Amino acid sequence: MHVLLTAALVVAMVPGAPVDRVGLEWTVAAPGGEVTARVGLDQGRLAFGVDSVLPAAPIGIRTAEADLSDGLTFVSRSSRTLRERYTMTTGKRLERDTTLRESTFSFTGAGGARLDLVVRVSAEGAAYRYVLPDDGPVTVIGETSSYVIPPDADAWLLPYTPNYEEPWSRTTAGAAPVADYGFPALFRIGGTYAMLAESDVDGRYAGGRLTHAGGGGYAVELADATVTADGPLSTPWRVTIVGDLATVTESTLVDDLAPASKIKDTSWVRPGLVAWSWLSERGSPADPVRQRQYVDFAARNRWPYVLIDEGWNASWVPELVRYARARGVDILLWLHWTALDTPQERDTVLPRLKSWGVAGVKIDFMDSDSQARFRWYDEILPATAELKLMVNFHGATTPRGLQRTWPHVLTQEAVRGAEQSRTRAATNTIFPFTRNVTGGMDYTPVTWVVSDRDTTDAHEVALAVVYESGWQHLADRFETYESHPEALRTLNQIPVVWDETRLLSGEPGRSAVLARRSGDRWWAAGISAEPAGDTAIDLGFLPGGRWLAETLRDGGHGLVRESRIVRRGDTLTVPLAANGGFVTALCPYTGSATCDRPIEPVPATVLTVTPPSTETRPGASVDVRATFTLPAGGPITEVRLAPASGGDPVTAARLRGGESLSGSWRLTVPDDVIGTVELPIVATYRWRGRTVHVEQAVRVFVPPPAPTGDAWVSDLPFLAESNGYGPVERDRSNGEQSAGDGNPLTLRGTVHAKGLGMHAPAEVTVWLGGACTSFAALVGIDDEVTTPGSATFEVLGDGRSLAGTGVLRSGDPAQPVTADVTGVRRLTLRVTDAGDGKNFDHADWAAARLSCA
């Protein structure tokens, strides 16, 4: 990623003393003059407008020290021209080249307080920000930033909630209810569109929203009553994108105003299609067998990712990751943001996921535009980037240029997507002109599982092109896609990264037809919320020569595919069903009957390690041999086989079907580990332009000292643990996501100092080494659960059931559980959700103790 910045600086006349008069007005014109911003100072008050579109409206900022919205005196103006060239990893256009005219207006207020107003204008719109240039801490108590919209202007507005998931509505600027509205907001003023947005919001400040008090007046209100920061302070940009609907839809101004990328090497950032099972079958993320089936489907169709949503378990994810990577599929994992809200959690959880081979994370439920939450974004973004973990923010704020600054952010939700289980064509046709303008949108499209929808099959498929998202999470069951072979065939060909985007036609709430280019191919796609009819596509965007146009659309009995030869300037007419859609692939015509490119799954390979498992002491060495085989097919190239921990690799320039590569190493077990440690052996190779990772591990068990005398289970090291929510707690009840945040273990009013707090389903395994004879505990649902919870409890010795309970519910008496553990090496304590779901299943093993030799 590179940035080219050129600047020509012009300083306006600066008088010997500050100018102090009324009625001052300045203009800042875009290079080429398409857009002109106007700044006014009258009676000490500032105003900002966009020529012929938005009349001047009051602006300013108030701090605890000074009111910089009134009593201002002009000091100076300086101007320069900026040209920036940069490359994105996602978005409507990868290569960006923008030229902006910038003017900085300096003012003083009461007591000599200083304010700079920085204005930037491009061919796509205008923006301003406040700069408080003094050093030292500053407390902002509000802005007077506002907009005056003609009351009769059409308006497409999003009622504000901090997750931006309310339905959009069409109204007028004056008729909109008195309420708060989220960014971006779209207005049609005469024949010109104006979009209001923000850019460059981070932990220095808070997110804003629009407050409508009536008429055509809209004001910016911050999420926090006060914002504190170190000076000098630059606030976010207040952005107005203006022009025809194509200018607004294709605009990159929000990204252009954002800080440059903080990541130099983005080669590891890889957009792509994602198979995601949660929407179509909510329980599937907890089922490793089902997730393996999704991996197999993704591998067959060369989808690069599978997202495992809420419900995954650390006991099986690492092995599933290995299974997937050997087939050319990477795993993404869902996390609640509170699992990463402390430095200790980030330093523990993220490296663990990386060590498993996870490629990225979906982080959910931030649900706030506060300064504190933006400071959390400031912390999680470099932490994930350092580990080369890609990110999808769900339950998140709306994009404000984040994907330019942190290009490993592949997408954000901030939309009422298909997971709401209600799809309307009229709403779908608003998103391309509003929410998706400012950044990648994780709508989770192409869902037949949503039964409450008025869209056609072709409409659903077209969403994969009409909506831009670096990770396109396709949200139905894989069997559903396989039962729609024409849809799957098209989905397998659609890219998610675009070199160019053009709006061909449309109007918010009625229709949207876009053309996007990837390499030498174009994709034209449209969605409609109108009655059946034909749509005409002007192919003037094509280069010269003959092109094959291959269209998928709704037919009388399902999806149909049609082909024709076209040239630049032709009109392609596509029949649309009511609320329908279409996807047209356009490729240079070479005589082929299709634009499809071959779908070639990664070759099946076999990696064996010997021994597969062993037992030894800390610091000991283990002799390991590995053989990597390509049974058939190929060839594969740049083959490398080596221990993950280091060691001399064995290599081969290529392997053909039936050939193998072998190596032997002596590996040392860490001297500070107990329990099971894995010593992975990794084979990598190149296939069709990408590196495939195949991994197997020798599982080495390092037993801890066996307990002696009377021992509390909560004092012993855990060989393994899993928990339905957060960690298993020692001597506390189950809390939230952090260790130690539970309450005292309490059963029917009795507080127990020792024991384990779990959340079903969960289990803990400890080492007895055959040294103990008996186990005893009191079990039940902790008193902290006021809504009925339920669980069953089971004691296992070396995998064999020794004792257990029936279903215990909230308020039931504590039940004693005892077991003879003579000769048992591994003791496992397990709780289940009793078959009715895991909500409120806070299960206590109170006073859990052992009698040992």
Q: Which two tokens stand for residue 792?
A: 């069953």
Query: What is the per-residue pLDDT for 16?
Result: 29
Query: What is the per-residue pLDDT for 739?
Result: 80
Active site residue 695: no
Burial grade of 717 (CB within 10 A; 0-12, 13-18, 19 or more): exposed
Q: Which two tokens stand for residue 763?
A: 């289990």
pTM of the model: 0.91
Query: What is the per-residue pLDDT for 225?
Result: 97
What integer is the mean pLDDT of 492-500?
98
User: Chain centroid to CA 268: how far?
Assistant: 16
Query: What is the per-residue pLDDT for 3?
Result: 40
Distance CA 649, CA 17 (A): 73
CATH number of the 710-852 domain: 2.60.120.1060
Query: What is the per-residue pLDDT for 712?
Result: 98
What integer is the mean pLDDT of 615-634?
95
Domain with CATH 2.60.120.1060 in the chain: 710-852
4-256 is a CATH 2.70.98.10 domain: yes
β-bridge mates for residue 639, sequence order: 652
Query: What is the per-residue pLDDT for 6?
Result: 37
How far the first Cα of the chain sits from its last, in Å, is 64
Distance CA 480, CA 485 (A): 9
pLDDT tier at 73, thresholds 50, 70, 90 = very high
Q: Which two tokens stand for residue 663?
A: 């190596």
Domain with CATH 2.70.98.10 in the chain: 4-256
Phi, psi of 592 (to 5 degrees): -75, 150
Distance CA 251, CA 347 (A): 38
Asked if 694 and 683 touch (Cβ cutoff 8 Å), the reply is yes
Domain with CATH 2.60.40.10 in the chain: 606-702
Candidate list 51, 364, 476, 794, residue with the active-site label: 364
Burial grade of 213 (CB within 10 A; 0-12, 13-18, 19 or more): exposed
Percent pLDDT > 90 in the chain is 92
What integer is the mean pLDDT of 599-624?
95
Average pLDDT across the chain, whole number: 95
pLDDT tier at 18, thresholds 50, 70, 90 = very low
The number of beta carbons lying within 10 Å of the beta carbon of residue 645 is 13
Distance CA 179, CA 501 (A): 34
34: left (phi over 0), alpha (psi -120 to 50) or beta: alpha
Distance CA 639, CA 630 (A): 11
Give residue-wise pLDDT tens across range 661-670.
Answer: 999 999 999 9
∠ Cα 417 423 424 (to 5°): 120
Active site residue 731: no
Q: Is the N-terminal amide bond of 603 cis, ω within 30° of 0?
A: no
Give residue-wise pLDDT tens across range 97-108.
Answer: 999 999 999 999
439: Cβ contacts below 8 Å, ≥ 6 apart:
91, 254, 255, 398, 399, 400, 401, 402, 403, 412
Give residue-wise pLDDT tens across range 251-302.
Answer: 999 999 999 999 999 999 999 999 999 999 999 999 999 999 999 999 999 9
What integer is the mean pLDDT of 550-568?
97
Distance CA 529, CA 535 (A): 12
Residue 530 has pLDDT above 50, yes or no: yes
- Fold type of domain 606-702: Immunoglobulin-like (2.60.40)
Candidate list 419, 476, 782, 833, residue with the active-site label: 419
Distance CA 413, CA 133 (A): 35
Give residue-wise pLDDT tens across range 794-815.
Answer: 999 999 999 999 999 999 999 9
Distance CA 390, CA 408 (A): 5
Residue 21 has pLDDT above 70, yes or no: no
* Closest by Cα among 408, 49, 162, 142 to 263: 408
Report which residue type is found at 431. Answer: F
